[in-house]
Amino acid sequence: NAGVMQNPRHLVRRRGQEARLRCSPMKGHSHVYWYRQLPEEGLKFMVYLQKENIIDESGMPKERFSAEFPKEGPSILRIQQVVRGDSAAYFCASRSNEKLFFGSGTQLSVL
């Protein structure tokens, strides 16, 4: 059974470029959480989605950030016009019963 898959593992972007982070949940899971983590800190909630619907985006910055989870394909976290402050590890997770299963994350570095 494949776990939660995230790609790319590492993404380098220059200021002003766009970053696209992909997440495929575990088989049979139709909801994903996205979190952001800075070094030596905990995970900050960003957004919770089900297929074709955003349930809670209260943790998403109002500008430049968007997320989607189409009927087919992975969930996408999109960051437009990246700035250095966007550099972080981005994790997604899918849920079964009381358990969250995390991917290995995407480390975004903005030069």
Partner 1 sequence: TQLLEQSPQFLSIQEGENLTVYCNSSSVFSSLQWYRQEPGEGPVLLVTVVTGGEVKKLKRLTFQFGDARKDSSLHITAAQPGDTGLYLCAGAVRTSYDKVIFGPGTSLSVIP
To the nearest whole angstrom, how small is the minimum distance from the Cβ of residue 81 to partner 1? Answer: 27
Three-class secondary structure of residue 84 per DSSP:
helix
Based on CB atoms, which residue is closest to partner 1, 63 or 98? 98
Q: Is 34 in the site for partner 1 (CB under 8 A)?
A: no
Applying CB under 8 A, which of residues 88, 105, 108, 110 lies at the interface with partner 1?
Answer: 105
**How would you classify residue 79: left for phi > 0, otherwise alpha for psi between -120 and 50, otherwise beta?**
beta
4 touches partner 1 by CB under 8 A: yes
* Start-end of H helices in 1-92: none
Of residues 38-57, which lie at the interface with partner 1 (CB under 8 A)? 40-45, 48, 55-56
**Nearest-angstrom CA–CA distance, 65 and 80:** 6
69 part of the interface to partner 1, by CB under 8 A: no
Contact between residue 7 and residue 22 where contact means Cβ atoms under 8 Å apart: yes
What is the DSSP code (8-state) at residue 70? -
Which residues of this chain interact with partner 1, rule CB under 8 A?
A: 4, 31, 33, 35, 40-45, 48, 55-56, 91, 93, 95, 98-105, 107
